[in-house]
Amino acid sequence: MTEMMKGNEAIAEAAVRAGVRFYAGYPITPSSEIMEYLSWRLPQEGGSFIQSESELAGINMVIGAAASGVRALTASSGPGISLMQEGISTLSDEGLSAVVITQVRYGNGLGTLISAQCDYNRETRGGGHGDYRCIVLCPASVQEFVDLILTAYELAEKYRVVTVMMGEATLGQMMEPVTLPDFVEPKRLPWALNGHYTYKKVGIFQRDSRKEAVELVEKYNRIKENEQRWEEESLQDSDYVFISYGVPGRSTLGAVRALRAQGEKVGIIRPITAWPFPEKAFYHINPKVKGIITVEANATGQLVDDAALYTKKALKERNVPVYDMACVFGTPTLQSIEEEYFKIKAGERKEVY
């Protein structure tokens, strides 16, 4: 049955139905409704909820729950996720699975409460110290967020990694029609409380770091090969291809369809996994394409770097220019995307790469 729900509340209910039985975290706008909802909902299903004294405490409680084989969750935004980076690095080092939700808001330091995509580089590059990656899912609607929650846990447990659900303030605060998934019976993971799969019985200080490094590379290569997800449209004949994810990706898709109706040969790749980045989609692009255009809600342009990298890799016989529409914050409108597109087409905008 479809019902109107606020994004954060729908996400929290989807987590319960996906088998989450432990939540620890600290309130921060625009993610707070997730923990507020789970504070009463998890106990109804026999789960545990803890409002921790800080984000640092919350992520360390998640480490304990994950080590016990429980589907554990935390959520935050901006500076709260920054505080969790050491814990996420530890989860990754220990080969523990967990899901972290970030509803991104704009700004450096404490920042603002405005919806943005300014944390792309942090989430897709690991975020904390060490040699690791998190799988990063970036939904474009409340329904897609809800649908990907179970996938997030399945991927985290399959590869023994952290999955980051990289949303935006808009997704947490907006209301949309949602069809909630069925309940999944949580199962205790077979490796619970066994520690890292490369630890020797003699203890942590006898780890074979070289062997572990090889295993990590192999694991991340499997993820890159098998878990790329994206939506694409009209790539084969396009003169210009847009790259955009999340809510801006949703409005960019609308702009692409409007431009096609005007006779413009444009297409789109909307990443659903920001890591692994959907590089396979770039091999579907028209080899005669005239330019790649990213649309993103930040000031500095972050997605554009990956777009340029994989354009170079897929279309290495040509130097295809890559442009960036950095919209600072909020969701770019169809009109603004169309206007900037025509400026690029007319040669009024300089390429980034």
Sketch out the chain's domains with CATH numbers: 2-196 (3.40.50.970), 231-345 (3.40.50.920)
Low-confidence ranges of the chain (pLDDT < 70): 194-207
pLDDT at 198: 46
pTM of the model as a whole: 0.94
Cα 142 from chain centroid (whole Å)? 14
User: 12-29 burial, b if ≥16 CB within 10 A, otherwise e?
Assistant: bbbbbbbbbbbbbbbebe
Q: Which of 231, 341, 343, 258 is nearest to 292 (CA)?
A: 341
CA torsion through residues 177, 298, 303, 323, sign: positive
> Order of strands, edge to edge, in the sheet holding 240-243?
230-233, 266-271, 240-243, 291-296, 322-326
pLDDT at 207: 62
pLDDT at 334: 95
Question: Does an H or E element contain 93, and which?
Answer: helix 85-94
Cα 125 from chain centroid (whole Å)? 12
- 284 vs 107: CA distance, rounded Å: 35
